[in-house]
Amino acid sequence: MTSRLRVAVAAPLEPALCDLIVELEPRIDLFVDHALLPPMRHPADFSGDPSFRRTPSQQRAYEYLLDRADALYGIPDVDPAALARAVRSNPSLRWVHTMAAGGGGQVRAAELTGAELERVVFTTSAGVHGDSLAEFAVFGVFAGAKHLPRLLRQQREREWSGRWLMSQVSDQTVLVLGLGGIGSAVAAKLSALGATVIATSRSGASAPGVCRTVRPDDVRSVLPEVSAVVSTLPGTDATHHLVGSEFLAALTPGTTVVNVGRGTVIDEAALLRELGTGRVGFAALDVFEIEPLPSDSPLWSHPRVLVSPHTAALDAREDRRIAELFAENARRLLDGETPRNVVDTVEFY
């Protein structure tokens, strides 16, 4: 990198946050034309209004901005093909920051060559969503423990039943799959509520609130102990359908399953089977194998499934947190340090 960093804004970004990035790292030269970016419909809407279209001259102007930059704030149009075009058209490009925590999947889809992956550093926004997703995970664990589906059904049917026992989260053992930023936040919150937290960790490292870590290959040894499973894992070849038939069959009846990672981690067909047997008592899902969730998916109507349309991470402060993270990583690159959240270009997470 040179003593300054030319950054093209490739994703919607409020003018105030453009100013903030330069204020936080004055060595950035920011190139942005808001007329070339789709309007945001809500905070963190980095795809923007789907009806937005550029004229041919606007598209040329947009690509001209991208092709003279050292770094991109966002994947152009959140489109892997557009990312590949930008990388190949701009030999000066050295860094692309993705808005998503799981931006590695978008990088993989661009099908870049080994040389291109070596030339360009890709970073993600992992960590900025940790608290929001952790709160949804805690909500899911509580919803299972307190029998939310039964309460809603009885209220809807105006049924005043006899009393029944509910579980105490403080008495439960919860397995957290993945101990990155989201998993660590989940573990801390659940532990503070009195739950016993076991977590998977590839490195063996732990985090505050975790009483025990296990390697992913050994996870089935602890499944009979747990009352709830929270997945925070990224979508990689190694995690694909990790929560599948064998995993779910090892759980005790009534276990709660929560997913705030990536939808491909859970085999939805296997999950539905175990919901039918009662081995899974309740599932709170913010992510799915196919998104949007198809209208004919049985998950929509299952009485013990809570469907959240990949919205649990959304927070009014998300845009600012990403801008701050970007400025910090720009500083690191300019100072010769390793940026945060570099994408692993082997497993793409």
Catalytic residues, by residue number, are 262, 310
Side chain identity, residue 255: T
Measured distance CA(222)–CA(211) in Å, rounded? 13
H helices of 68-193, in order, are 80-89, 104-109, 114-119, 130-145, 148-156, 181-192
170: helix, coil or strand?
helix
User: Which two structure tokens, joined as six digits, stand for 289?
Assistant: 């194998």
Measured distance CA(163)–CA(109) in Å, rounded? 52
Secondary structure tally for the chain: helices H, strands E: 11, 12
148: helix, coil or strand?
helix
Q: How far is CA 174 from CA 29, 106, 187, 230, 255, in A?
A: 47, 31, 9, 7, 10
**Which residues, including other chains, have CB under 8 Å from residue 255's CB and lie 6 or more apart?**
226, 227, 228, 229, 279, 280, 281
For residues 136 and 284, the answer to whether their CB atoms sit within 8 Å is yes
Measured distance CA(83)–CA(300) in Å, rounded? 34
Q: How far is CA 148 from CA 120, 273, 281, 298, in A?
A: 47, 20, 11, 19
**Which residues, including other chains, have CB under 8 Å from residue 146's CB and lie 6 or more apart?**
166, 167
- Closest among 265, 273, 288 to 200, alpha carbons compared: 265
The burial of 23, by beta-carbon neighbours within 10 Å (0-12 exposed, 13-18 middle, 19 or more buried), is given as: exposed
Cis peptide bond upstream of 292, omega within 30: yes
